[in-house]
Amino acid sequence: MVRWESGRRSDNVEDRRSATPARGIALGGGGTILMLIVVFLVSGGDLGQVLKFFLANQGQVARQQAPRQPDPQEDEQAEFASVILADTEDVWKKIFAQQGERYQPAPMVLYRDRVTSGCGPASSAAGPFYCPADRKVYLDLSFYEELDRRFGAPGDFARAYVIAHEVGHHVQNLMGVMDTRREMTRHMSENEFSVRLELQADFLAGVWAHHAQVDRKILEEGDIEEGIRAAAAIGDDALQKKSQGYVVPESFTHGSSEQRVRWFKKGLKSGDLSQGDTFRAKEL
C-alpha cells in the first residue's frame, strides 16, 4: 500500500465535484416574473425592453455550487489524489531542474459526471484525461471504482499510476512532444502517433514510480505489481477483447497490454528520460 497519508497535499487541485449546471431563466418561474416586472418598471413600461431582456437571458447557462452530500470514502480518495499529484510535482521539478528547466505543474480538476475543459465538454465515461489546451488533468473519482470492479486492477498504486500517466502527458506537452503531431503524422497514421504518445506517457509514469520507489520511498512491496496490472488491464487488446470479443490492432490508440507494461517497466527500471523516445523506437 502506498504510504501517502503524511505526504504533502498539492496546491493545484480544483475540486469541482459540487459544480452543477444551473438552468437558465424559464418562463413562468417566480424569480423570472419578478425580474420581468423590474425591467418593465425601470424601462418606463417599455414592453420591447422586457421582451429583449427575456430573449437575451432565456438560454443563459451559469455555474452554481450545489450542496454536496458528504462522502468520507470519496473525500479520502480526493486527498490521496492530491498527495500523488504533489509527489509528481516534486519529482518532475527535480528532473527538470537537473536539465536547467523549470517545471510548471499541471492543475488537477476533480469532478463528477461531466465537466467542461479547455478541450470541450466531457463526461466521466471518457475516463481520466489531460487537456493540452488548458494544461490540466481531469479526474472523476468514480473511475477508481471502475478500475477495481470493471478492470480488475485494485490498489493504491494502480490509482496512482492513472494520475502519473496523465501527468506524463503534461510533461510531454512541456517538452514540446505534442507540438510535433502535424509533422509526425506525415510519416505515420494518427493512430500510430497516438499509440506512441500514450506509451511514452506510460514510460513517464514509470519514471515517476522509479523516484517514488528509490528516492522518496513511498511505495511498499506489491505496489508495483498493482501498477503493472492496471497498465495491462487498459491495453487496447484487453479492452477490445472484453467489449467485442476480438482484437483489431490497426485501431489501437493506446497500445497493447504487453506494450504498456513494457514501457512502464522501462521507465520504472531506468528513471532516465533519454530512454523513453517511443517516436524513434523501431519496436514498440
Is residue 14 in a domain? no
- More confident: 274 or 19: 274
* pLDDT tens column, 137-184: 999 999 988 888 888 777 888 899 999 999 999 999 999 999 999 899
pLDDT of residue 45: 54
Question: Where a domain ends, among 39, 60, 81?
Answer: 60
Cβ neighbours of 200 (radius 10 Å):
24
d(CA 48, CA 190): 53
Check whether 279 has a pLDDT greater than 50.
Answer: yes
pLDDT class for 2, splitting at 50, 70, 90? low
Residues 85 and 49 in one domain: no
Task: Indicate left, alpha or beta for 106 from its phi (over 0: left) and psi (-120 to 50: alpha).
Answer: beta
Same domain, 48 and 167: no
Identify the pLDDT of residue 6: 62
Q: Using one digit for the tens of pLDDT, what is the confidence trace for 208-265?
A: 999 988 776 667 667 778 888 888 888 999 999 989 999 999 999 999 999 999 999 9
Amino acid 1: pLDDT: 53
251 in the same domain as 110: yes
On whether both 49 and 142 belong to a single domain, the answer is: no
Q: Take residue 240 and report the three cell numbers written for it.
A: 477490445
Give the ranges where 66-149 is alpha helix by DSSP (H).
72-98, 143-149
Q: What pLDDT is recorded for position 50?
A: 44
Whether 74 maps to a domain, the answer reads yes
Distance CA 242, CA 239 (A): 5
Q: Does 134 fall in a domain?
A: yes
Give me the pLDDT at residue 52, please.
Answer: 54
Claim to verify: residue 168 and residue 236 sit in the same structural domain: yes
* Residue 35 pLDDT greater than 50, yes or no: no
37 vs 104, higher pLDDT: 104
Specify if 1 maps to a domain: no
| The pLDDT value given to residue 151 | 82
Total count of residues recorded for the chain: 284
Q: Do residue 49 and residue 132 come from a single domain? A: no
Residue 283 covered by a domain: no
Q: Please tell me what DSSP assigns to residue 60.
A: -
Q: Show the domain range for 194.
A: 69-275
Mean pLDDT confidence for 17-22: 65
Q: Are residues 165 and 74 in the same domain?
A: yes
- The residue assigned the cell 417566480 is 30
Same domain, 104 and 219: yes
- What digits encode the pLDDT tens for the residues 70-115? 678 899 999 999 999 999 999 999 999 999 999 999 999 999 999 9
Count structural domains, the chain: 2
pLDDT at 214: 72
Q: How many CA atoms lie within 13 A of 251 on its CB side?
A: 10
Q: Does one domain contain both 128 and 211?
A: yes
268 with 230: CB under 8 angstroms? no
Among 214, 200, 218, smallest CA distance to 266 is for 200
